[in-house]
Structure 1
Amino acid sequence: MPIRPRYRRVSALQRQFFNREGLLALYDEELREISDRLRILNVVGVGGIGKSRLLQELRNRTPDTCRAARLDLQLPTLRQQEDALAVLRMEFGAQGVQFDRFDIAYAVLWQRVHPQLQMDRKNTPFAEDSEVLSKILDDAMGLPVFGTAAGLVRLTGRAVSNRQRRRRIESDPTLQELDSLSNAELGNAVSYLFAEELRRSAEERPYVLFVDAYEAMVPTPLPGGRSYASDAWLRDLLGQLHGGLTVLASREPLPWAAYDKEWETVIRETRVDGLPMPARLDLLAQAGITGVPEQRTIAEASAGVPFYLHLAVDTHAQNPDRAAGPGTAEEIVQRFLQHVAPDEVRILELLSVARTFDLGMFRVIGRTFDLPANLLTWESLTAYSFAYPLPRGWYRLHQLMITALQRHLSPGVKRHVHAVVRRYWEELADRMETGADSGVARSSPLREAVYHGLHAEDISPEQIQRHADRAVMMSGRQAVDGMVKDIRDFVASPPRTAYATEALPGIRDAADCLDAESRLELGDAATVIAMTPALDMPVGSVVAARLALAGANARRIAGESSHAASIFERVWAEHGGEARPSAGLCVADIRMWQGDFAGAFALAEEVHGICSPHERVIRGDLKRLMHLGHRFLMDFDRAAGLLAQAEEEYRAVGAVVGLANIRTNRAELLAFTDPRAAVEEAGAALEVQRDLGAQHEIGKVYTAMAIAQLRLGRLERSEAAFRNANTALDQAGYRSGRARADMFRAFLLLRRGEREATRDLLLHAAREFETCQVYPSLITAIHGAAERVGLVTPELTAAADRARPLLRPLGTVEDLDRRTDEVLSMFLDGVAP
């Protein structure tokens, strides 16, 4: 931390106040509701968040109809009861509150604590400020008064002329008992009389008491919210302040309900959060930092903490060419840790390496580095306001603390901690797969394992890919997005080590591969094509092979079937690693779409044979592929059986994406076998696919719903579903899927008697299939439909003639034609030619 004068560091209290409109409104509401009741507004926030500045603004906002005083517990002397009461008595006394009984009781307490001093104007507190006490001491001048309450009360009769005021003092039962009280009881009586005098004054004019920095009095609370009774006098005093409002600022919420549940009905807690970005920029501009890049950099680094912003302003004022840096970060961490026990700081430094942590991780790190890892230490650490609670026992540290704390760790120690935390997350992921409940999202452990593996510099691109595959199975493709971000952040500023030099190219490819596969699942083919402009790179590694397959699949969706097929074939022929089954699946897939059903099924069986039993996802994909083949061959019974087998494979490993696609395929199948059930199934499939964000799958589901509604004769609903299907399919760039939807929408137009539009749409769909080099079986079906209703054209006939030689169905072409005619009858029977 730079050595420089410290006085100017308090200048934040003199700078313009920003934002906090909600808190100001809340304070105004509390002021309006002041009554003869006990009320405490507890302003809670981390160190440096602006609580003291807020209290100053609230006091400035207090109307003249209220008295106000402030107790700053950051001053050590004011943490003592008698000193704090003296300050408050002087502030409220200056505003017209009469403290006759309190002044007498305080003089008794003072004399009890300082018996060597004679009670006179010189030695007695408030002697010059208290009308009653000054007159009593005038009468007692020169007499060795030893501070007995009885003696002081007797002197009141001669010193005070106002009868009512004199009677109130002489008849007060508390004053009569003071001489018989112990020192502790005498202190309680003094607090009681202070509260009584203040409450009495509130009958004519209410008051507000501001108490700052409660944590200075109780720096280390005990588990359960209790403390070592250092705040007992303050709690006792505030518990008696009726008729006014107390605003108390603290880093953690007041824990007083641990003593008495009634405090929950008295205390209203409100959080002071970080300043929003516009307020941060306004603050910096007001302080003279006007450069837009500099403003943005400081504002983002501050995490909305005003203390950081003011440090940056001070740094700029002293040296305009130097931005906030390590010195600022060090002051921040000192501010945050001001009231943290020294033996807890070290483990906080280690925990700062983890983005989130729980009791289990805390214990593992503690045992690894021989630090306290007991439950008491854990409860103490997690009680601090900079440890933010997350659902079900997880925590994270404040963003500014993380950066500052990690500066205290050497690179070697940080790598070691990252390695320890990576193993913890991997073990947690293993437990979750066996059904253990962790309280975190199912994919989170795998993302965190990748993050810490990178920073521990001990994870390979292949291991990253395997973790991503597990995350996809556990909670869907979106889980990988976080991994991609973490990898790209690491690649953008890698460490200068041998690991980074050697592994960085493979890690960069892993990020590209994960990103491409994720976007492909969302149906964003155009972006994946842009990400993979060169697809002739070597495919020896798993990551390179999968990246090539993702790029080829994007081109298949966009209608570049021949280009995609050549890439699939090359990976299938050249790659001998873990990605080979996926390449074989892709080759079989595109062969089927191009009409070679026999070749596709033979290859699918071959790929199934090389899959190990634990590769349930790829085995499910192969079964689903064969299901689709039988469905396009109009053999719906076989298709249903294979769909059930695929679902069984996916369900065995909880493959979220696979099971979602099963729902899509089931809706598509039911559209031909049970349209009423198809409508219901499509609705369920839409919910699942919307959660995953897969636009091409959403388009396919809407197509299935539209076909089912068409078969049920609900033409308006069918038309609406087709419109939704087209929107989703166009957004995904799925040309062949859009053409398939158009083929069936043509049957809807035919039902409405729009024959010319029907012919044009059928012809458009056939052209698209030819352009994309897919679905020759559907081209022949379009031709057959046009013939049945008298809309055939020479161009359709020529297209069908080109398609038939491409067909290699299972069984005979005649059987396929018969089944196709039966399906067309579902839509065309009753339509006049």
Structure 2
Amino acid sequence: MSALQRQFFNREAVLTAYDEALQSAARAPEPRILNIVGIGGIGKSRLLQELRNRTDHGFRTARLDLQIPALRQPEDALAVLRTEFGAQGVKFDRFDIAYAVLWQRVHPQLRMDRSNAPFAEESDVLSKILDDAMGFPVFGTAAGLVRLTDRAISNRHRKQRIKSDPTLQDLDNLSNAELGYAVTYLLAEELREASRERPFVLYVDAYEALVPTPLPGGKSFGADAWLRDLLGQLHGGLTVVASRERLQWAAYDEDWARVIRYAPVEGLPMAARLDLLTAAGITERRRQQSIATASMGVPFYLHLAVDTYLENPAQLETARTSEHIVQRFLQHVAPDEVRILELLSVARTFDFAAFQTLGKAFSLPAHQLTWESLTAYSFAYPLAQGWYRLHQLMVAALQAHLSQAVKQSVHARLRSYWEEVVERFGRLSDGGGISRSSPLREAVYHGLHAGSLTAEQVHHYADRGMAMGGRQAVDGIVKDLRDYLAARPGADRSLREAADCLEAESLLSLGNARAVIDLAPEVDRRVDTVVSARLSLAAANARRIAGESGTAAQMFQQVWEEQDGPVRISAGFCLADIKMWQGDFVGAFGLAEDVYGMCGADKRVIRADVRRLLHLGHRFLLDFDSADALLDEAEAEYRQADDPFGLANIRTNRAELWAFTDPEAAVVEAGAALTAQRELGAQHEIGKAYTAMAMAQTRLGEFDRAASSFLGAYSALDRAGYRSGRARADMFRAFLLSRMGEREETMSTLRRATAEFVTCDVYPSLILATHQAALRLGEDDPDLAAAALRARADLRPLGTLDALERRTGDMLTLFLGTPG
């Protein structure tokens, strides 16, 4: 008997959470999502069925089962929802028209008639339009369909609603991708409207089928973007999503954290296990206790035991552990197939080629017939693009049959296999349909468990992962390293240092300086290996962001002097960077050019970083023409390297530059930069982009918008712990306050910015600017004057100091107006 058809037991906590969510969802002005979370086999699908059965008839309900491959495509999923909700009285007039337009875009070769058109029978609007069209072959433009509604619909309100809908009016101008978004929007809007008289509940089962391997931090490679887009628009009801891991959608947009409630599904308590077994006919007390204990409360095991009992009650006499139950599940699998399943249990994911690799290595059948037989079993879980994963509840029992030596041998062969996959995918423009960096992570995982991976090799893989797939690939490697080390407290210390280093670099890319300092608190550390030197660089950069410029400079200098190769180049770049912020532009530019000369053509990212550093230097010296040219050079290098982080930073820098030279363009570019940086999660860059937008809005006279943008900048910069960036935002906000006539607050903000510049030992050129700004306001502040005097002594600009002060005066005129 299917587990879905058996009697339902327990789950009171989840039922209570569901009832509470249901009561509040219909009144909520925003989406409401209840995320039911539990491991595979814990009974989530059965629970969803029970929730739907219990739901009052005052709610419309629909179910989206992502275990069905077709329903992982947005167009098919929307069609299912339209059909289910439409059968319960929801009118989808506008959605049906838009979907018909999308359908004909995708199938231009087909005639639109009752036999072909989607929802032709379910939709009274489309059915009447098709009847009135009298067989004309092509009329599927939105404008044409809307015109035909005049005769097709008699209800004046419905007719006017369709004819006046702005989304329908614009459909013919949209790309196919945009048309897909519009179709989703219209389904959500018509469902929202219908929810005013009768709310809805949508059940989404097996989210992991859509995103089988979520990335650390919650992100994926976009497979679930359409689902997030849909659910984000569903007001007036409740969506229940069943998944193995918590939905971490706040990684994309923090507002998700407010609307998602989590309900964990744990193992059944002992009493419920015994009730389930009794209901299935297993009543003998000793048997019940044995099976219930072995099941660990997982219904999957319990149902296997029940099925075995129903086939032959005598076979359960010795079932005392989950191993026995699993063995009974495998009893009809051929011995050779069981052996290769044991080998495949070592792989986290596998395809036909991996199966063949292991089969040949261990002289087991590796032909197509065996493959098809294995993947037909329910414990072989299909993923995208022909990949598979064994059910997690089977893995431990299968691996228990392998000796440590065999497992290490399998890991070693899988490491080699995944390295070959990396090379193969690297030659495909689309990465073979999956993330190009995923095989790298698998190679590291298997290399670790084979005991054949050094700390420096881990870093080599991570660097390749960054080049191929971005920071998420590195985060995955760090997670695997941490899990490996947690199970082996006595593992090589260098591997632990490698994990610390990669995590620190990842945190640094997000601007989380404080977390990096907590991870690597030592200032005086050995830098005798590449890994220890890289960790020192990450810790030094965190201190630079946190305002400890002097300490950071010492750490950079140590690596620069004691290391060679790529890590020395990175240290030289960082040292040039901090010299520039401290006002030594001459020394910084000289060192930067030396570093650039040390970089071959294969070091495009660091070459781009150097050009961008020189751009920033010229921008702080207010030489905007040179800054613009260098930014173009840096962008070209980043594009050749296909570096998403560098290109996102270019957008931020261009917005900052245009805030001085073209404020209207700067506002637009800052918006684009915010989009790019939010996707990457770089809080310090988000703060800089908001600052650039606020600067431009100040120049444009949009003071309210500028004030709001500065608040956004403060929030992001404070989260990042970016003290000097916050102080720079303060300085430009003081200019806004001056334009708004807030004289006292202007001076207070200028003093606060200057004090932070001094504390952080940065931006002497900006200290000159704050002093000049105060003088323009008629304020000869002694503290600002003293700070400016010290700043002049620290500055080594290109050209003369007088020329820099003249350009500073011109810049102040842009933001404060003409003096006098």
Give the structure-1-normalised TM-score. 0.63
The 1:20/1:571 distance shift into structure 2, 3 A limit, reads: closer
Residue 450 of structure 1 aligns with which residue? 444
The 1:394/1:47 distance shift into structure 2, 3 A limit, reads: closer
| Structure 1 residue 532 corresponds to structure 2 residue 520 | yes
Is this contact kept in 2: 1:308–1:328, CA < 8 A?
no
Residue 489 of structure 1 aligns with which residue? 483
Residue 412 of structure 2 aligns with which residue? 419
Runs of 4+ displaced beyond 4 Å: 12-22, 46-54, 271-279, 285-289, 298-304, 309-313
Cα displacement (A) at 1:469: 1.6
SS of residue paired to 1:814: helix
Cα displacement (A) at 1:621: 1.3
Give the alignment partner of residue 753 of structure 2, picking from 753, 765, 772: 765
Residue 222 of structure 1 aligns with which residue? none
Cα displacement (A) at 1:448: 1.3
SS of residue paired to 1:580: helix
Whichever residue aligns with residue 449 of structure 2, its letter is H
Cα displacement (A) at 1:286: 5.0
User: Aligned equivalents of 1:547 and 1:514: distance in 2?
Assistant: 8
User: Aligned equivalents of 1:656 and 1:51: distance in 2?
Assistant: 38
Is this contact kept in 2: 1:707–1:718, CA < 8 A?
yes
Cα displacement (A) at 1:666: 1.4
User: Aligned equivalents of 1:342 and 1:809: distance in 2?
Assistant: 77
Residue 210 of structure 2 aligns with which residue? none
C-alpha distance after superposition, 1:690-717 (max 9, x if no partner): 1111111110110011111111111111
| Structure 1 residue 665 corresponds to structure 2 residue 653 | yes
Cα displacement (A) at 1:378: 2.2
Residue 698 of structure 2 aligns with which residue? 710
Give the alignment partner of residue 781 of structure 1, picking from 769, 786, 789: 769
Residue 687 of structure 1 aligns with which residue? 675
Residue 395 of structure 2 aligns with which residue? 402
Cα displacement (A) at 1:520: 0.9
Is this contact kept in 2: 1:478–1:692, CA < 8 A?
no
Residue 539 of structure 2 aligns with which residue? 551
User: Aligned equivalents of 1:786 and 1:488: distance in 2?
Assistant: 53
The 1:51/1:489 distance shift into structure 2, 3 A limit, reads: closer
Which stretch shows the higher mean deviation, 724-733 or 669-678?
A: 669-678
User: Aligned equivalents of 1:326 and 1:798: distance in 2?
Assistant: 84
Alignment of 1:681-830 (within 5 A): 681-830=669-818
Is this contact kept in 2: 1:521–1:694, CA < 8 A?
yes
SS of residue paired to 1:438: helix
C-alpha distance after superposition, 1:599-630 (max 9, x if no partner): 00111111122223212221211111111111
Whichever residue aligns with residue 470 of structure 1, its letter is R
User: Aligned equivalents of 1:303 and 1:438: distance in 2?
Assistant: 39
User: Aligned equivalents of 1:53 and 1:610: distance in 2?
Assistant: 62
SS of residue paired to 1:811: coil
Is this contact kept in 2: 1:585–1:604, CA < 8 A?
yes
Is this contact kept in 1: 2:44–2:265, CA < 8 A?
no
Alignment of 1:135-174 (within 5 A): none
The 1:743/1:455 distance shift into structure 2, 3 A limit, reads: same
User: Aligned equivalents of 1:556 and 1:745: distance in 2?
Assistant: 23
User: Aligned equivalents of 1:302 and 1:684: distance in 2?
Assistant: 53
Is this contact kept in 2: 1:685–1:701, CA < 8 A?
yes
Residue 227 of structure 1 aligns with which residue? none
The 1:376/1:637 distance shift into structure 2, 3 A limit, reads: farther
Whichever residue aligns with residue 449 of structure 1, its letter is A
Residue 243 of structure 1 aligns with which residue? none
Cα displacement (A) at 1:288: 9.5
Cα displacement (A) at 1:561: 0.7
State which structure, 1 or 2, has the greater radius of gyration over its C-alpha atoms: 1
Residue 193 of structure 2 aligns with which residue? none
Give the alignment partner of residue 624 of structure 2, picking from 611, 632, 636: 636
Give the alignment partner of residue 601 of structure 1, picking from 579, 584, 589: 589
Residue 142 of structure 1 aligns with which residue? none
Give the alignment partner of residue 356 of structure 1, picking from 342, 349, 361: 349
Cα displacement (A) at 1:419: 1.4
| Structure 1 residue 614 corresponds to structure 2 residue 602 | yes
The 1:304/1:556 distance shift into structure 2, 3 A limit, reads: farther
The 1:307/1:477 distance shift into structure 2, 3 A limit, reads: closer
SS of residue paired to 1:579: helix
Alignment of 1:472-483 (within 5 A): 472-483=466-477
Residue 552 of structure 2 aligns with which residue? 564
The 1:49/1:506 distance shift into structure 2, 3 A limit, reads: closer
Whichever residue aligns with residue 547 of structure 1, its letter is L
Residue 270 of structure 2 aligns with which residue? 284
Alignment of 1:50-61 (within 5 A): none
Cα displacement (A) at 1:799: 0.7
C-alpha distance after superposition, 1:746-789 (max 9, x if no partner): 11111111111111111111111000000000000111122223
Whichever residue aligns with residue 382 of structure 1, its letter is T
Give the alignment partner of residue 337 of structure 1, picking from 330, 343, 351: 330
Cα displacement (A) at 1:307: 4.6
The 1:422/1:757 distance shift into structure 2, 3 A limit, reads: same
The 1:363/1:19 distance shift into structure 2, 3 A limit, reads: farther
Unaligned runs of 5+ in 1: 1-9, 26-45, 62-270, 290-297, 314-324
Give the alignment partner of residue 365 of structure 1, picking from 354, 358, 382: 358
User: Aligned equivalents of 1:365 and 1:606: distance in 2?
Assistant: 50
Unaligned runs of 5+ in 2: 19-38, 55-240, 246-261, 276-290, 307-317
Matched positions, count: 564
Residue 223 of structure 2 aligns with which residue? none
Cα displacement (A) at 1:372: 2.5
Give the structure-2-normalised TM-score. 0.64
Is this contact kept in 2: 1:769–1:776, CA < 8 A?
yes
C-alpha distance after superposition, 1:302-359 (max 9, x if no partner): 797315469999xxxxxxxxxxx99634224324424433332222111111111122
C-alpha distance after superposition, 1:698-743 (max 9, x if no partner): 1011001111111111111111110000000011110000000010
User: Aligned equivalents of 1:446 and 1:379: distance in 2?
Assistant: 27
| Structure 1 residue 388 corresponds to structure 2 residue 388 | no
User: Aligned equivalents of 2:360 and 2:13: distance in 1?
Assistant: 43
The 1:51/1:643 distance shift into structure 2, 3 A limit, reads: closer
Cα displacement (A) at 1:481: 1.7
SS of residue paired to 2:381: strand
| Structure 1 residue 459 corresponds to structure 2 residue 447 | no
The 1:633/1:285 distance shift into structure 2, 3 A limit, reads: farther
Is this contact kept in 2: 1:352–1:405, CA < 8 A?
yes
The 1:285/1:599 distance shift into structure 2, 3 A limit, reads: farther
